[in-house]
C-alpha cells in the first residue's frame, strides 16, 4: 500500500515535469537544417505583436470632366459626342470638406468595421484635415479586404445605361448579406440586396421598364412589313462610378430582392477560390450596408507596425510574476512542509497545462489575456491554500476537498459569469480574457480533482 | 480605525474626481496628441539607437516611442509629443550618418495624430461588464436573499463602484500614465471585487446560520 502511494506520487510528479517541459520549453525536432518546435505557438493579439496601420487622407485628386457645346457633361463611355470643353474638377469640393462630413466619415468607417466583425481597432480622426488613422489586427486572410472596404467610397447606383439617369442608390437599400449558394454547376458566392419600402417600389418600376425584349422579325415570304425591333433598354449597376454589370429583367420583381453573383466555383464549398469570392462578397456587403462616404479618400499609408511592447518588457513582467510565484511556493513549503511541496508542484503543473490549453484552443492572448492568466493562477493558489487549511481541520481529505470545492464554486460564481459573458464578446481583447478565465476555471476543477487531491490523499496517508 | 479608513478613502476618491475634472488624466504618448514619422533604414537596427538619436535632438525629457515597421523590420516609426520640421531634418541627418543612408526630408511621411479620448478606451468594455454585472447582481440577490435584498445589492454595487472610483482616483492623483494596461487592471479589479464581496456575503451567511443553530 505504502509503496503504491509513493509510486503514484512519483508518477504524477513525472507527468507534471513532462507537461511543464512541453509547455515551457517545447518539443524540438530537426527540420531542414534547423530545429522546429512541434508545440503550437501562442496566438498573440495586436497589442503584443503589432497592427496594420492605415492612413486615409481626403483625396486631392482631380477628374477631367468633358462638356458638350450645350454645357452638358459627356459620359466617359461616350466617344461620339463632340467635346467642347474639358475642365479639371477636384473629386472633393471645398464646400464638402467640413467637420460634419469628417465626423460622418469616421462614423461610417466604424459601421463598416462592425459589419466586418472587426471590433478590436483604434480610429483617430484629425478634425482639421479629415485624415483618419486606423489600427487593425494583422490577419493574413482578412486585413486586406477590410482595408479595401474602408478605402472605397461605397457609392452604389442603378443607372440607365444610356441616359445615365440615377434610378436607385444607397439610400434605397435596407440590408445586404453575403452568402454562398449551390447551383447545378457548382457553388456561387453572392450578395443579396434587400431594398427598403421606397426602394422596392422603385425597383419594381425598373424591372417593368427595363424588360428583356424578344426580337420579332417578319416572314419575308409574306407581304407584311418588317417590324422594327424595339431598342433594348438596360440598367447598369455601378459602385463608385465603375460599372459592375449591365442587364435587363425578364420579369417584374416586386419583392425588392436582388441577388448579384460575385464569383463561382465548380469545386466544393470549401475551396480557396470560393472563399476568396466569399470574402469579396462580404466586403461588398459591408460597403453597401453602411452609407457612402461623403468624401473620397485615398490610402496614404498601409503598413504593418510592430508593437512597442518589446521582448525585454515582457521578460521583465515574466520575472516579476515568477518572483511572486516563487514567494508563494516558498510560503507553501515552509507552512505545510511535504504537503506544501506537493501542492506547489501541482500548481506548476496547473500553470503548464493552462498554457498548453490556451495554445491548442486557439485563444489569442492580448494584454488583458495575460491578466486573465495571472488571475486564474491566483484563484488556483487561493483554492489550494483553502484546501490545505481545511485538511488541517478535517482528517478526511476527500471530505475536506468536497467542502472546499462546494464553497469555492459559490465564491467563484461571479468569475464564472464574467468568463462566460466575456467569452461571447467579439472584441478580441475581451474575448481573450473570457476564454482564458473559462479554461482556468475548468482546469481548476478537473486538474485539482485528479492531481492535487491525489497528492494530498497520498501525502496524508504517508 | 474603520472610520479613519473610510474617511481616508472618501478623501482620496473626492480628490481624485476633482483632479480628473480639473486637469484630466495623464495619458500615455500613444493615446495623447502626437506626431509620428517614418524613416526607412534598410537594415537591422536597435530601437534604443534610434531613441538615443531622437533624444539628442528633442531633449531627454520628452517621451519617444520607436516601433519597427513591416515584416523585414527595416523601417522605423517614431512617435513624439511634438516636433518641428527642422528637428525632423536633424534626426534624419543623424540617421543618415549612422546608417550610411541618403534619405531626404521628402522621403519622410509625417502624421499629426489627435488624442484618443478616455471614453474610446472604455467603450468596448461597457456592454460585457454591464451584462455580467447585472447577471451577478441577480444571481447573488437570489442566493443571499435571506441576508436582505437591499443589503446584498448595496454590498455588490457599493464595493464595485468604490474600488473602481479608488482606482481612478489613484491614477489621477499619482498622475500615472493611462495606457493599455489601465483597462485590463480595471477588469481584474472588477473580477476580484466580485470575488471579495461573495466571500464577505458567504461569511455573513455562515455566521447567521451558526447563530440560528446555537439559538435552536
Asked if A305 is an interface residue toward chain B (Cβ–Cβ < 8 A), one would say yes
Task: Check whether A281 has a pLDDT greater than 50.
Answer: yes
A-chain residues within 8 Å CB-CB of B198?
410-411, 413-414
Chain A nearest-CA distance from B46, in A, is: 11
Q: Dig out the grid coordinates for A14 from the structure.
A: 513525472
Are the CB atoms for B195 and A415 separated by under 8 Å?
Answer: yes
Q: Helix A143-151 to helix A272-289 angle, to the nearest 10 degrees?
A: 30
Calculate mean pLDDT across residues A332-348: 92
CB–CB of A417 and B136 under 8 A? yes
What does pLDDT average to over chain A? 86
What is the pLDDT at residue A2? 74
- Check if A307 contacts B (Cβ < 8 Å): yes
CB contact under 8 A, A306 and B68: yes
Confidence of residue A227 (pLDDT cuts 50, 70, 90): very low
Above pLDDT 70, what percent of chain B? 100
What does the pLDDT read at residue A436?
A: 94
Q: What is the Cα–Cα distance from A34 to A28, expressed in whole angstroms? A: 10
Give the tens place of pLDDT for each residue, B1-37.
888 888 888 899 899 989 988 988 899 898 889 999 9
Q: What are the phi and psi torsion angles at A155 (to 5°)?
A: -85, 110
Tens of pLDDT, residue by residue over A353-408, are 999 999 999 898 898 999 999 999 999 999 999 999 988 888 888 888 998 988 88
- What pLDDT was estimated at residue A215? 61
Interface test with B, best of A317, A414, A422 (most B CBs within 10 A): A414
Neighbours of A41 (CB within 10 A): 8
Q: Tell me which of A7-21, A49-63, A132-146, A194-208 is least confident.
A: A132-146
Phi (first) and psi of residue B40, to 5 degrees: -80, 125
- Spell out the domains of chain B, with CATH numbers in brackets: 2-26+117-215 (no CATH), 33-113 (3.30.70)
pLDDT bin (cut points 50, 70, 90) of residue A218 is: very low
Contact check, Cβ <8 Å, A305/B67: yes
Q: In this structure, what C-alpha cell is assigned to residue A369?
A: 489575456
Closest Cα to residue B201, out of A381, A382, A410? A410
Q: Tell whether the model's pLDDT for residue A251 goes beyond 90.
A: no
Domain map of chain A by residue range? 2-45+308-461, 50-214+230-306
pLDDT of residue A223: 45
* A139 lies within 8 A of chain B by CB: no
Instruction: Say which of B109, B114, B195 has its CB closest to residue A124.
Output: B114
Q: How many Å apart are CA A450 and CA A441, to the nearest integer? A: 14
Query: A307, A327, A413, A328: which is closest to A370 by C-alpha?
Result: A307
Q: Is the pLDDT of residue A272 over 90?
A: no
A418/B198 Cβ within 8 A: no
- Subunit contact A47:B198, Cβ cutoff 8 A: no
Give the pairing of strands A364-365 and A43-44.
Answer: parallel
Contacts of A429 in chain B (CB under 8 A): 124, 184
Backbone dihedral region of A307: left (phi > 0), alpha (psi from -120 to 50 degrees) or beta?
beta
- Is the CB of A429 less than 8 angstroms away from the CB of B139? no
A:195-214 residues touching chain B, CB 8 A cutoff:
none
Task: Please answer yes or no on whether A371 and B188 come within 8 Å at the CB atom.
Answer: yes
Q: A5 — phi, psi (to 5°)?
A: -65, -45
Contact flag B66-A308 (C-beta cutoff 8 Å) = yes
pLDDT value at residue B95? 92
pLDDT tens-digit readout, A233-245: 888 888 888 888 8
Confidence band (pLDDT; 50, 70, 90) for A222?
Answer: very low
Residue A461 has pLDDT above 70, yes or no: no
Q: pLDDT-derived band of residue A224, with 50, 70 and 90 as boundaries? A: very low
Q: Is A44 on the interface with B (CB under 8 A)?
A: no
Q: Taking CA atoms, what residue in A is nearest to B187?
A: A368
pLDDT reading at A228 higher than 70: no
Residue numbers in chain B where pLDDT is lower than 50: none
Question: Quick one: cell of B165?
Answer: 472610483
Q: Tell me if A411 and B135 make a contact (CB, 8 A cut-off).
A: no
Q: Which CATH architecture has domain A2-45+308-461?
A: Up-down Bundle (1.20)
Position A132 scores a pLDDT of 94
Amino acid at each position: 500500500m505504502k509503496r503504491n502511494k509513493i509510486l503514484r506520487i512519483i508518477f504524477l510528479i513525472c507527468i507534471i515535469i513532462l507537461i511543464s517541459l512541453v509547455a515551457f520549453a517545447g518539443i524540438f525536432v530537426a527540420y531542414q537544417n534547423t530545429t522546429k518546435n512541434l508545440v503550437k505557438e501562442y496566438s498573440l493579439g495586436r497589442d503584443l505583436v503589432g497592427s496594420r496601420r492605415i492612413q486615409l487622407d481626403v483625396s486631392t485628386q482631380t477628374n477631367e470632366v468633358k462638356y458638350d457645346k450645350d454645357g452638358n457633361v459627356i459620359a466617359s463611355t461616350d466617344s461620339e459626342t463632340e467635346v467642347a470643353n474639358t475642365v479639371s474638377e477636384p473629386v472633393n469640393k471645398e464646400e464638402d470638406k467640413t467637420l460634419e462630413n469628417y465626423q460622418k466619415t469616421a462614423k461610417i468607417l466604424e459601421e463598416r468595421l462592425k459589419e466586418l466583425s472587426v471590433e478590436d481597432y483604434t480610429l483617430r480622426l484629425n478634425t482639421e484635415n479629415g485624415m483618419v488613422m486606423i489600427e487593425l489586427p494583422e490577419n493574413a486572410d482578412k486585413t486586406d479586404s477590410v482595408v479595401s472596404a474602408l478605402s472605397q467610397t461605397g457609392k452604389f447606383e442603378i443607372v440607365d445605361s444610356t441616359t445615365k439617369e440615377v434610378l436607385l442608390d444607397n439610400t434605397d437599400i435596407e440590408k445586404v448579406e453575403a452568402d454562398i449558394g449551390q447551383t447545378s454547376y457548382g457553388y456561387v458566392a453572392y450578395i443579396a440586396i434587400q431594398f427598403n419600402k421606397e426602394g422596392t417600389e422603385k425597383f419594381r418600376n425598373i424591372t417593368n421598364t427595363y424588360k428583356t425584349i424578344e426580337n420579332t422579325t417578319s416572314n419575308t415570304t409574306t407581304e407584311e412589313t418588317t417590324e422594327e425591333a424595339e431598342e433594348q433598354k438596360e440598367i447598369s449597376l455601378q459602385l463608385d462610378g465603375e460599372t459592375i454589370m449591365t442587364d435587363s429583367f425578364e420579369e417584374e420583381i416586386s419583392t425588392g430582392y436582388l441577388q448579384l453573383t460575385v464569383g463561382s466555383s465548380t469545386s466544393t464549398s470549401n475551396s480557396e477560390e470560393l472563399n476568396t469570392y466569399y470574402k469579396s462578397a462580404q466586403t461588398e456587403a459591408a460597403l453597401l450596408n453602411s452609407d457612402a462616404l461623403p468624401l473620397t479618400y485615398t490610402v496614404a499609408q498601409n503598413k504593418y507596425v510592430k508593437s512597442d511592447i518589446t521582448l525585454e518588457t515582457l521578460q521583465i513582467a515574466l520575472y516579476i510574476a515568477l518572483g511572486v510565484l516563487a514567494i508563494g511556493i516558498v510560503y507553501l513549503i515552509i507552512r505545510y512542509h511535504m504537503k506544501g511541496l506537493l501542492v506547489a508542484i501541482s500548481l506548476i503543473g496547473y500553470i503548464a497545462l493552462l498554457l498548453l490549453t490556451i495554445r491548442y484552443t486557439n485563444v489569442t492572448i492580448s494584454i488583458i489575456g495575460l491578466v486573465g492568466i495571472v488571475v486564474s493562477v491566483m484563484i488556483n493558489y487561493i483554492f489550494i491554500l483553502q484546501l490545505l487549511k481545511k485538511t488541517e481541520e478535517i482528517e478526511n481529505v476527500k471530505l475536506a476537498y468536497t467542502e472546499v470545492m462546494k464553497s469555492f464554486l459559490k465564491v467563484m460564481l461571479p468569475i464564472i459569469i464574467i468568463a462566460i459573458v466575456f467569452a461571447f464578446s467579439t472584441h478580441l481583447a475581451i474575448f481573450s480574457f473570457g476564454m482564458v478565465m473559462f479554461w482556468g476555471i475548468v482546469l481548476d476543477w478537473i486538474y485539482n480533482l485528479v492531481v492535487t487531491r491525489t497528492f494530498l490523499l497520498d501525502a496524508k496517508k504517508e | 480605525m474603520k472610520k479613519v479608513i473610510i474617511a481616508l478613502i472618501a478623501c482620496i476618491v473626492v480628490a481624485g474626481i476633482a483632479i480628473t475634472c480639473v486637469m484630466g488624466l495623464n495619458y500615455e504618448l500613444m493615446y495623447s496628441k502626437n506626431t509620428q514619422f517614418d524613416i526607412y533604414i534598410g537594415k537591422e537596427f536597435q530601437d534604443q539607437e534610434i531613441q538615443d538619436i531622437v533624444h539628442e535632438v528633442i531633449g531627454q525629457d520628452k517621451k519617444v516611442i520607436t516601433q519597427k515597421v513591416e515584416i523585414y523590420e527595416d523601417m522605423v516609426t517614431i512617435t513624439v509629443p511634438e516636433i518641428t520640421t527642422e528637428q525632423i531634418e536633424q534626426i534624419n541627418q543623424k540617421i543618415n550618418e549612422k546608417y550610411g543612408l541618403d534619405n531626404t526630408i521628402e522621403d519622410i511621411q509625417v502624421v499629426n495624430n489627435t488624442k484618443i479620448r478616455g471614453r474610446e478606451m472604455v467603450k468596448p468594455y461597457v456592454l460585457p461588464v454591464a451584462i455580467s454585472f447585472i447577471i451577478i447582481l441577480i444571481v447573488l440577490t437570489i442566493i443571499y436573499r435571506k441576508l436582505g435584498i437591499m443589503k446584498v445589492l448595496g454590498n455588490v454595487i457599493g464595493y464595485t463602484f468604490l474600488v473602481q472610483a479608488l482606482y481612478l482616483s489613484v491614477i489621477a492623483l499619482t498622475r500615472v500614465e493611462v495606457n493599455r494596461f489601465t483597462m485590463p487592471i480595471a477588469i481584474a479589479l472588477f473580477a476580484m471585487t466580485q470575488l471579495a464581496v461573495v466571500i464577505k456575503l458567504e461569511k455573513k451567511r455562515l455566521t447567521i446560520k451558526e447563530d440560528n443553530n446555537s439559538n435552536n
